[in-house]
Structure 1
């Protein structure tokens, strides 16, 4: 009996320690530098967004936030590194739509599971895609373009910034949603695709507002629509593709913060809360919009549901379009 009483007390103490431990860890977090891995080279939009957010979090936390670029293999090298990192909240991942929701359907034998290997924290930005045509194009809205494409089946092309890119997948989704036939002409990056769209070689291009936007504002391109579900504050006069007669269409890039699976819940809640407050601040909102990004937010549960929906959506597009990266 005496042994059982002692054992019961030990178990109760252990349970209390376990209950207190995570909260205490969150109270102290972070007590040392935090590393955020970006699975892309330095200088891109995700890298810029991460450094902006990292600076703001460092000021709030009183600890350095170190951004490390681990580019390569379509974002899979850096993503895999974080999947295998110690789940203590000191190694985080700023991932994008490609490595986290597209690659699982685009590549065989992917080395990580985007759902099981990560804890979702918060969506940090939405990066709108603009549907653009040459300034010389006669089409001034989506319906005019759709009507022309249907009347010229087999003669219409769309350009993309590369196979498997958001630009490519958005156009494939548009094809199936609008019921038009278009031939894919892939380019190696946004620059050459924009040059040939401006020159009239490409009939239409889906590209990020950050890249294509300046050419729209200079009059070299015409924006027919934007791919987000709602109009963007930075493009208030540009209708969405969905409201332009292609119901249900949405296609855009995004960034979100993740941690390795098993990271303490209390630590995840603290990161989410602090990141949400930073993203909602007027200064960060203004600076993100200057980069062509829309500030994110929301709960970890909302991000988890969003990731699931994005994986399913792009898996269908990839399968139906028989899309490969070869």
Structure 2
């Protein structure tokens, strides 16, 4: 087939135009992906929660998210991705773009305790994330049925040692299991774990008399304590809970158990330092506001708001601590 004069030149010209267009598109896409951190944020921020709506971590996210939206001038969307003890949500954020637009509400269960008990995880809390700030910490409460003859921590230890086949406890996650395992290791009390799907089910098992005891979140269970449905034996924090001033600490009750859980904000690793610092400054300010503290108090949550570096040290220390507890208790979960 014969070609008209200049055909080859025209083809070369068109090819070059196509290459230039593709390069322009690639550069435009790259520029969008590498947004100027000083202009952050320019669109909605998503905070991912690994639990269903209505729980403690979800409520923290919504309280803080509303304030963050007001201060940054962009929408903050709460994405609930429950499943696998927050594993689903944590893996999702670990694989998200490190641009500051996908953040994680990371509880100590997912970030410090899951790595201690799961043989395999699809994320590494240290290698895959940057801790931005610890939003809040909260104690747990050791409870028994209100009609139980067990009226103190010492009574529970005595009962468990005298009835090793009968003494048991309910647990709804690896976090509660390991805190109870720590109690067992410190006291020598032989108690068998009875797993339940959720925290409410775990507490109801105590109320209905299905189990001897449980360790539960202070916020959700304080109402049952005040209502006389359960008896609080001790709190796991170093100081007494403001909402339950008559309940002793574990140390006051004669046991060397100190366990405080926490929730914080994490970003995917490689998020630009300027964005991390901006989020850190905003979130630490927000969590310390009096009206935020007032909304968190009924949940049994103590506002914290520390630096990224300090939060990273807490995370590393907790991973080491709970790994040792799991190893001593021979606790390993296969997926």
Q: Which bin holds the TM-score, normalised by the shorter protein? A: 0.7 to 0.9
Partner in structure 2 of residue 186 of structure 1: 195
Higher Rg: 2
In the TM superposition, 1:42-53 aligns within 5 A as 42-53=53-64
Secondary structure (helix, strand or coil) at the match of 2:78 reads strand
Note the C-alpha offset of 1:25. 4.7
Partner in structure 1 of residue 246 of structure 2: 237
In the TM superposition, 1:1-326 aligns within 5 A as 25-161=36-172, 164-247=173-256, 249-325=257-333
Secondary structure (helix, strand or coil) at the match of 2:48 reads strand
Root-mean-square deviation over aligned CA pairs: 2.0
For structure 1, the residue ranges without an aligned partner over 5 or more in a row are 1-23
Matches of 2:265 and 2:194 in 1, distance apart?
A: 33
TM-score, with normalisation over the residues of structure 1?
A: 0.86
Note the C-alpha offset of 1:305. 1.0
For structure 2, the residue ranges without an aligned partner over 5 or more in a row are 1-34
Q: Does the 8 A contact of 2:93 with 2:103 survive in 1?
A: yes
Secondary structure (helix, strand or coil) at the match of 1:145 reads helix
Secondary structure (helix, strand or coil) at the match of 1:242 reads coil
Deviations 1:112-169 (A, max 9, x none): 11101111110112232110011112333222322333344443222222xx432222
How many residues end up aligned between the 2 structures? 300
Q: Does the 8 A contact of 1:146 with 1:180 survive in 2?
A: yes
Partner in structure 2 of residue 18 of structure 1: none
Matches of 2:288 and 2:185 in 1, distance apart?
A: 36
Q: Does the 8 A contact of 1:25 with 1:266 survive in 2?
A: no
Matches of 2:246 and 2:43 in 1, distance apart?
A: 46
Deviations 1:54-89 (A, max 9, x none): 001111111111111222232122211211222222
Note the C-alpha offset of 1:193. 2.6
Structure 1 runs of 4+ with >6 Å offset: none
Secondary structure (helix, strand or coil) at the match of 1:92 reads strand
TM-score, with normalisation over the residues of structure 2?
A: 0.83
Tell which deviates more after alignment, 87-96 or 24-33: 24-33
Change in 2 beyond 3 A, CA 1:91/1:190: closer
Change in 2 beyond 3 A, CA 1:174/1:278: same
Note the C-alpha offset of 1:226. 0.9
Note the C-alpha offset of 1:184. 1.7
Note the C-alpha offset of 1:269. 1.5
